[in-house]
Amino acid sequence: MALRAWLDIRRFWQPEHAPALLMIPLGLIVTVCVVDVLAPPHIHLGPLLVAAPAITVAFGGARTTAAMGALAVAAQVSIGVLRGVFGTANIQAQIAALIVVSAVCVTVCAVRDRREQQLHQVRSVAEAAQRVLLQPLPPRAGPLRIAGLYLPAEAEAELGGDLYAAARTAHHSTRLLIGDVRGSGLGAISKTALLLGAFRAAAHRQATLPRLAVHLDGAFRWDTRQWGSQTEQDTTEDFATALLLDIPDHDPVVHLISCGHPPPLILRGDRLIPLVSEASHLPIGFGGAFGVADYDVQTFPFEEGDLMLLYTDGVIEARNAEGRFYPFSERAPQWSADDPGELLRHLQADLLAHVHAHLDDDAAVVAIRRTAPTPPPSGPAL
């Protein structure tokens, strides 16, 4: 986010976007020329011309800076000619110094512009990777309206260890995953991609949520341990907290399995209802001894008009400068009447204001509203 903001500011302050900025160094050159020519012989303001290319570096590119440096040199020559001192060693030294400083300014601009272009390309690749890995949630799935929000902790990152995904099943239900992979950096991104891929490959065809949980846990552990020694396998700390949900189209309930993840919240009018599961299983990656029978599915009411919030601990553990946690359960009901996308926009602005735009951990939120169910299909599901 910091990189994006800096590049946006740089583009805004380019001369083509704010041509009036060019009047600052131009006005300085004209002022120095007029005052120096009219001033007494013992007053010399010519050295101030060096400020013109130096100021241009702040908003202009290499060509603009070079042009301003050339104008400053021309102005210094004109001052020497008009005052009749062009042949003196003093004025020639000033001209030489101005040429050197202008050349340095142009070099700095060229290096900086090339670096910004490289960073822009990196950002474009990161955004493309995010769209591939953390695909946008469908705005509509059966009777559900869905929206997702992802906020990375690292300013230049587009993806970290938090994840979410959705899939439709042949049984006319929507399955969702939200999770938080331990750690950060490339290792967490690799595990995030693994879980998202495993979920998308299996969520639509696994008969039950427990089978899906076993599948995700097995895929995670296999990837973690396939190349490690036995000692490394015994000491690995790779894991991910996760929630697996199945929401039927024509039954006002939600089925879920909690693997060490914070409980969802239901906003029902002005009430906030935490869906605290009686059975919270070990995180994904720790369930090696578990089978399908070991995962308990909890069922909660999820009625028409209800809005459910799934989130990661980066939201509820976000601290401000005074060390106070973000009051998620207090703020969220304020926007319960909004559609999911609008609610997340309010939440994002409020959360970033609370932490002064500096998150210590990745944060993800998924908002789901159940609307009136569509008529049940008349024929068998394909």
Q: What is the 3-state secondary structure (H, E, C) of 268-296?
A: ECCEEEECCCCCECCCECCCCCCCHHHCC
As a dihedral over the C-alpha atoms of residue 218, residue 224, residue 227, residue 229, rounded to 10 degrees, the angle is -100
116-140 residues labelled b (16+ CB within 10 A) or e (exposed): eeeeeeebeebeeebeebbeebbee
pLDDT of residue 135: 85
Q: What is the mean pLDDT of the chain?
A: 84
pLDDT the model gives residue 294: 80
Specify the pLDDT at position 132: 67
For tokens 């990661």, the residue is 312
The pTM for the full model equals 0.69
Residue 221 is predicted with a pLDDT of 85
pLDDT band at 178 (very low <50, low <70, confident <90, very high): very high
Q: What are phi and psi of 159, to 5 degrees?
A: -150, 140
Of 313, 330, 324, whose CA–CA distance to 262 is shortest? 313
Nearest to 362 by CA among 72, 134, 24, 99: 134
- Grouping H, G, I as helix, E, B as strand and the rest as coil, residue 375 is coil
Q: Which amino acid is at 321?
A: A
pLDDT of res. 129: 65
Tens of pLDDT, residues 277-327: 887 788 998 865 567 778 899 999 999 999 999 999 999 999 998 989 999
Do the Cβ atoms of 325 and 311 come closer than 8 Å?
no
- What one-letter code names the amino acid at 220? F
Q: Give the separation between CA 186 and CA 159, rounded to whole angstroms.
A: 9
Q: Residue 69 and residue 87: Cα distance in Å, rounded?
A: 21
The better pLDDT of the pair 67, 133 is held by 67
Q: How far is residue 143's CA from residue 161's CA, in Å, rounded to a whole number?
A: 29
Residue 29 Cα distances to 8, 61, 96, 160, angstroms: 29, 19, 17, 50
Sheet of strand 298-301: strand arrangement: 162-168, 173-181, 240-248, 253-259, 298-301
pLDDT value of residue 280: 78
Question: Band of the pLDDT at 74, cuts 50, 70, 90?
Answer: very high
How is residue 274 written in tokens?
A: 């935490």
Q: What tens digit of pLDDT does each residue of 75-121 get? A: 999 988 888 888 888 888 989 999 999 999 999 999 988 888 887 77
Half-sphere exposure of 61 (CA within 13 A, CB side): 13
Per residue in 109-147, pLDDT tens?
A: 999 888 888 877 766 666 666 666 778 899 999 999 999
Chain segment 338-373, per-residue pLDDT in tens: 899 999 999 999 999 999 888 888 899 999 999 987
C-beta neighbour count of 187 within 10 angstroms: 13
pLDDT of the residue at 128: 62
SS3 139: coil
Quick one: pLDDT at residue 330? 92
pLDDT the model gives residue 151: 87
d(CA 118, CA 178): 33
pLDDT tens-digit readout, 197-254: 999 989 888 678 999 999 999 888 887 666 655 555 554 568 899 999 999 999 999 9
Region of poorest pLDDT, from 46-50, 58-62, 218-222, 234-238: 234-238
State which H helix or E strand residue 307 sits in. Answer: strand 307-311
> What does the pLDDT read at residue 158?
55
